[in-house]
Amino acid sequence: MSSKPTPAENRRLYWRKTLRLTAGLLLIWFLVSFVATYFARDLNFTFFGWPFSFWLGAQGGPLVYVLLVGFYAWAMNRLDAAHDQDDVVD
């Protein structure tokens, strides 16, 4: 039998999931911002007439950032609804 968690437990669980989501997305951000750009010069081939490292920095990074923001908004809306936090204002 699963009982409904108390409001304090619900907030703690909500906060833990929020931190886990944020940490995961920050890890992806770090990998795209620093690791991918650090190794981009080693990707020495042309892509549509330009070096691939240019495309990685000029197109790939900003695209990933926009996707991260969209995913964060979607995931937090679902998390808010699952933990009855969607109408809470502190």
How much is the pLDDT for 26? 97
pLDDT digits (tens, 9 = 90+) for 3-15: 788 888 889 999 9
How much is the pLDDT for 52? 78
Q: CA 77 to CA 85: how far, in whole Å?
A: 9
Q: CA 62 to CA 59: how far, in whole Å?
A: 6
Longest dimension (CA), the chain: 62
In a domain, 49, yes or no: yes
In a domain, 3, yes or no: no
The sign of the dihedral angle between the CA atoms of 68, 73, 75, 80 is: positive
In a domain, 20, yes or no: yes
CB proximity list for 61: less than 8 A, separation 6 or greater: 32, 33, 36, 37
The domain tally of the chain equals 1
pLDDT digits (tens, 9 = 90+) for 30-66: 998 888 777 777 777 787 788 877 777 778 889 999 9
In a domain, 38, yes or no: yes
Domain of residue 59 covers 16-82
pLDDT digits (tens, 9 = 90+) for 22-40: 999 999 999 988 887 777 7
In a domain, 26, yes or no: yes
